[in-house]
A and B are shown apart, each in its own frame.
Chain A
Amino acid sequence: MTQEQRPILTLHSVRKSYRGRAALQGISLKLYPGELLGFFGPNGAGKTTMIRCICGLLKPDEGSISLQIPDGFRGSRSSRPGLVPQNLAVYPDLTVQQNLEVFGRLEGVRGADLQRRIDEVLDWSALRDRRRSLARTLSGGMQRRLNIACSVLHRPAVLLLDEPTVGVDPQSRERIYAMMQELTAAGTAVLLTTHQLEEVETRCDRVVVMDNGQIVADGRLPQLVASSLGLPHRVELLFKQPCAVGLREFEFDEQRLTAVCRLASMQQLPAVLEVLQSLPEPPQAINVRSFGLQDVFLALTGRSLRE
């Protein structure tokens, strides 16, 4: 994904209110082909409303939402985004194969094309062995994969996932992200909402932080940290007695019991630790941590995450 590409999805100053309460307050956003965009924010931030607006389920009060389908995705079917709701949005009393057939038909895929797509999707989601099993008899991870599989049968240019890995074991989560990577590699733009900080930080190409119906941050995580917190790593020294010796790069508190240093890269850490060896009394504890999305959110909103 390169920023020079034309965005698949563009939201411009989108506003939406429910009975006078503003759910979206001028959201502007671009999503590019092959991008995995993580949408992060507390409950009630407006993520679901935004997804419903993108899907066309809700009409914005103001602003515009446009979809530009790249050449790799031709046909009207691909212009409709795929939606993976948070809950298991399949028919539990149908088999895997029957669910895929039903949702494929609803998306306008029929005949041999449908059968071919089902075969592809069964392989992609590793559900071929269970295609004759009822959906309700599948494990949680398999059900999640089926949930996603039902949304891609029409080869959507944009896939929207709402908390796709909730309640899923690490192995299944890996499998799901592997599926996401295959999709983005094929040029599909994926937008997922999640509460899993680690997932957003490590899996997503770009992160959008949302709060109170507004986008408070948009970019790659290092950029967000740099713009909101400065240097991304923090080394903290805790002393039992007030430290009498001065340390370059470190800032002490008034009692000189705590010293903090910010690093641009973890590669600087050995040099810092080497300086500590020269102290007459070593610190009682050394805390090293990298700033993450929670710190960014805290810095931007002035409060910790609600949920």
Chain B
Amino acid sequence: MILTFLRIAYLRLRNNPLELLLVFVMPVLFFSIFAMIFSQGIAAGTEKPLRLGLLLPAENVAAAELLAELQQNTSVICTELGSLPMESERTQRVVLEAQNSSHYDLLLLLPADFSTAEKYRFRMRLVTDGQNAMAVAMVRAILEEYYAVQRVEGVLRQMEDSAAEATAERTAREQLSIQRELSRRAALSGSGAEVGLELPAIDAAENAGESFRNPSTPRELFAGSGAPPSINPGKAPSTVERLASGLAPPVDLVPEVPSELGVEVAASNKDVERLLTSGPKPQISVDNPQATDQQNPRIAMYAAGIAVLFLLFACTGHAATMLEEAESGTLDRILISEAGLLQILAGKWLGIYLMGCLQLSVMFVFAEAVFRIHLWRHWDGFLVMAGSTSAATASFAMLMATICRTRSQLQGAATVIILSMSAMGGSMIPRFVMSDRMKELGRWTFNAWALDGFQKVFWFQSPLESLRPEVAVLLGSSLVMLLATLLLSGRWRRGT
């Protein structure tokens, strides 16, 4: 008897291709999508270089040196956005445009007087849109490392200068002392004979200066100890990190020196420590223009992602009533009434569209009430995006209902397509963690366009004009799907 039930289950599955698709193909499809996201996106084992946009002051040597340093770093892809200091009035506009383009994880702005030489002042501004939380930490670490290197080099130069001065002073003192001694001896002996002098102390001091300098530029120190410090939360911070962050005195940065100069070294250690701990800290400010007046801009994006996903399901479910009506004969009754097919389609589409707008509104009003996404401030952008998104989803639902023959067929096909679109389009996983290739693939789904639009409204707080591409794509795809629906709508009359 149990075998009979097993056979029934097997036969039902075998005779239902859509169920087979859902049971066996769908999981594989989803696995593939997520595998593509996580194997090539930010969560991949191989690190994806950060895209850093730079706004550097013109004709600034220190800025050029920093750029050269960053360009050597394989963790970062640098793009110069212009020769503008961060104080410039045009800078804000360039920053906004760069952020809206979503081509950069982070923007680096330098002041006109940026310098590493003058008192080691190191002032800069990082601008983030908050999408890539790791970008700020990584770039800050790179910059602080650079700062530390510059400082240590400066300290070492100072120490070299101090050592040279001390040597010269001591030599002069010794020569003076010798001359006095010679004068005293001459006075005592009265012979006036000249005595030849050797100055081993001077040579020793010079040698000591060489041995002090040779092995230990900061870069050589890093080279000797391995790779430059990297961000690794599992490890204790490196010397440079500790040094830069002021957590530890820079004693271990001071090179070994001959023992005969122990007194001077001790003095030098203190000097290095004093210089590094008492000097100006790196002034790296981090700005998130989107977050300045928002409690949590990401919430708006997640609200949009979830809303679009469920909007697709709701709209498809609503469109399924057409199949229900066709199956029961209600549609035939309506088709021969005063309402023609065009009116029926228009009425159905409008119903789904309004329901979509309402559903999005409910979602965002709730998000506003609970998570403060500043809906009222962006009401115009929200209305534009909600209208465009609902139009696209309504047309999609109508097309699906027209193509499918039965409700179960629609349900199965819609589940496969909607979940795939949502996974690729960013409703399930934020698009900013995806690889560029996945992002491009996602462009074939209108989820991606809808989410990009909502992101511009609530996160980037972009003006309405910036929504043109998203609105054009959503309304365009809506129109195309509606036309396809109209072309295929003869099936409603045929009843097949």
Interface residues of A (CB under 8 A from B): 52, 55-58, 77, 80-81, 83, 85-91, 103, 106-108, 150-151, 162
Distance of A108 Cα from B336 Cα, bound (Å): 12
| Alpha-carbon distance A151/B329, docked complex (angstroms) | 12
- The residues of A that contact B235 with a CB separation of less than 8 Å are none
Evaluate contact between A89 and B333: CB separation under 8 angstroms.
Answer: yes
Residue of A nearest to B331 (CB): A89
Interface: B194 (CB within 8 A): no
B330 touches A90 (CB 8 A): yes
Alpha-carbon distance A87/B495, docked complex (angstroms): 14
Asked whether, in the complex, the Cβ of A89 is within 8 Å of the Cβ of B336, the reply is no
Q: Does B93 contact A (CB under 8 A)?
A: no
Asked whether, in the complex, the Cβ of A80 is within 8 Å of the Cβ of B336, the reply is yes
Q: Which residue of B lies closest to A107 (CB)?
A: B337
Any A CB within 8 A of the CB of B335: yes
CB contacts (< 8 Å) of A108 on chain B: these are: 337-338
Knowing A52-B495, A58-B493, A106-B338, say if A91 contacts B330 (CB, 8 Å): yes
How far apart are the CA atoms of A4 and B493 in the complex, in Å? 35
Instruction: State the Cβ distance, B406 to closest chain A Cβ, in Å.
Output: 14
Closest residue of A by beta carbon distance from B492: A57
A86→B494 CA distance, assembly (Å): 16
Q: Is B327 an interface residue (CB 8 A)?
A: yes
> Could you say which residues of chain B place their CB within 8 Å of the CB of A80?
336-338
Indicate the member of B325, B329, B334 with the most A CB atoms within 10 Å. Answer: B329
For A151, list chain B residues within 8 Å (CB): 333
**Chain A residue with Cβ nearest B327:** A87
Are B336 and A88 closer than 8 Å at their CB atoms?
A: no
Number of residues on chain B facing chain A (CB within 8 A): 16
Q: A106-B338, A107-B338 are in contact. Are A57 and B493 (CB under 8 A)?
A: yes
B339 is an interface residue with CB less than 8 A from chain A: yes
Task: Kindly list chain A residues whose C-beta atoms are within 8 Å of the C-beta of B327.
Answer: 87
Min CB–CB distance A282 → chain B (angstroms)? 55
Whole-angstrom CA separation of A23 from B384 in the bound complex: 50
Q: Which residues of B contact A (CB under 8 A)?
A: 325, 327-330, 332-339, 493-495
A58 neighbours in B (Cβ, 8 Å): 493-494
Listed from nearest, the 10 A-B pairs whose CB atoms lie closest are A85-B329, A89-B329, A106-B337, A89-B330, A108-B338, A87-B328, A55-B336, A87-B329, A89-B333, A107-B337
Pairs across A and B, CB under 8 Å, 11 listed: A55-B332, A56-B336, A58-B494, A87-B328, A87-B329, A103-B333, A106-B337, A106-B338, A106-B339, A150-B333, A162-B329
In the complex the two chains form, is A88's CB within 8 Å of B328's CB?
yes
Measured in the bound complex, the distance between the Cα atoms of B332 and A56 in whole Å is: 10
* Contact residue among B328, B339, B493, B494 (Cβ-Cβ distance under 8 Å from A89): B328
CB distance from A126 to the nearest CB of B (A): 21
Is B332 touching A57 in the complex (CB atoms < 8 A)?
yes
Tell me whether A83 and B493 are in contact in the complex, defined as CB-CB below 8 angstroms, given that A103-B337, A106-B337, A108-B338 are known contacts: no
- Measured between beta carbons, the chain A residues less than 8 angstroms from B335 are 55, 57
20 more A-B residue pairs beyond the given contacts A89-B330, A91-B330, A107-B337, with a C-beta to C-beta distance below 8 A: A52-B332, A55-B332, A57-B332, A57-B336, A58-B493, A77-B338, A80-B336, A80-B338, A83-B333, A85-B333, A87-B327, A89-B332, A89-B333, A90-B330, A103-B337, A106-B334, A106-B338, A108-B338, A151-B333, A162-B329
**Interface-centre pick from A56, A85, A108, A151 (highest chain B CB count, 10 A):** A85
CB distance from A75 to the nearest CB of B (A): 12
Partner of A81, one of B325, B336, B339, B493: B336
**B496 to A: closest C-beta gap in Å:** 8
Secondary structure type dominating chain A contacts: loop
The docked-state distance in angstroms from the alpha carbon of A86 to that of B329 is 7
B290, chain A: closest CB distance, angstroms: 45
Contacting B330 at CB < 8 Å: which of A56, A85, A162?
A: A85
| A80–B338 CA distance with the chains assembled, in angstroms | 8
**Partner among B332, B337, B338, B339 whose Cβ is within 8 Å of the Cβ of A85:** B332
B494 to chain A: which residues have CB within 8 Å?
Answer: 57-58
Q: Shortest distance in angstroms between A95's beta carbon and chain B's nearest beta carbon?
A: 16
Cα-based distance from A106 to B343 in the complex (angstroms): 11
Distance to closest chain B CB from A143 (angstroms)? 11
Nearest residue in A to B325 (C-beta to C-beta)? Answer: A89
- For B339, the closest partner residue in chain A by CB is A106
Q: Which residues of B contact A90 (CB under 8 A)?
A: 330
How long is the Cα–Cα vector from A85 to B493 in the complex, in angstroms? 14
CA distance A108 to B339 in the complex (A): 9
Q: How far is the CB of B344 from chain A (nearest CB, A)?
A: 9
Bound CA–CA A81/B336 (angstroms): 8
Complex-state Cα separation, A77 to B495, whole angstroms: 23
Which residues of chain A come closer than 8 Å to B333, judged between CB atoms? Answer: 83, 85, 89, 103, 150-151
Nearest CB on A from B487, distance (A): 17
CB distance from B351 to the nearest CB of A (A): 13
Residues of B within 8 A of A52 (CB): 332, 495
Chain B hits for A56, CB < 8 A: 336
Chain B, Cβ-Cβ closest to A99? B330
Nearest Cβ on chain A to B489's Cβ, whole angstroms: 13
A80 CA / B336 CA spacing, docked (Å) = 7
Chain B residue nearest to A88 (CB atoms) is B328
List residues of chain A with CB within 8 A of the CB of B334: 106
CB distance from B164 to the nearest CB of A (A): 95
Assembly CA distance A103 to B493 (angstroms): 18
Closest to B493 in A: A57
In whole angstroms, what is the CA distance A301 to B329 when docked? 31
Closest beta carbon of chain A to B320's beta carbon, Å: 14
- Residue of chain B at shortest CB distance from A156: B336
Interfacial chain B residues near A86, Cβ < 8 Å: 329
CA separation between A305 and B144, bound complex, in Å? 93
Q: Closest residue of chain B to A91, judged by CB?
A: B330
Task: For residue A138, give the distance in angstroms from its CB to the closest CB of chain B.
Answer: 15
Distance (Å) between the CB of A79 and the closest chain B CB?
11
Report the nearest B residue to A150, measured CB to CB: B333
Residue of B at shortest CB range from A57?
B493
A83 and B336 contacting across the interface, CB-CB below 8 Å: yes
The residues of B that contact A150 with a CB separation of less than 8 Å are 333
Chain A residue numbers with a CB within 8 Å of B336 are: 55-57, 80-81, 83
Give the complex CA separation of A56 and B340 in angstroms.
Answer: 11
Determine the chain B residues whose CB is within 8 A of the CB of A85 once the complex forms: 328-330, 332-333
Which B residue sits closest to A106, measured CB to CB?
B337
**For A87, what are the chain B residues with a Cβ–Cβ distance below 8 Å?**
327-329
* B336 nearest in chain A by CB position: A55
In the complex, what distance in Å separates the CA atom of A223 from the CA atom of B189? 171
In the complex, what residues of B have CB within 8 A of residue A81's CB? Answer: 336
Q: Which single residue of chain B is at the shortest CB-CB distance from A55?
A: B336
Contact B337 A57 (CB under 8 A): no
A77, closest chain B residue (CB): B338
Tell me the complex Cα distance, A145–B325, Å.
18
Which of the listed residues B325, B335, B336, B495 has the most CB atoms from chain A within 10 Å of its own CB?
B336
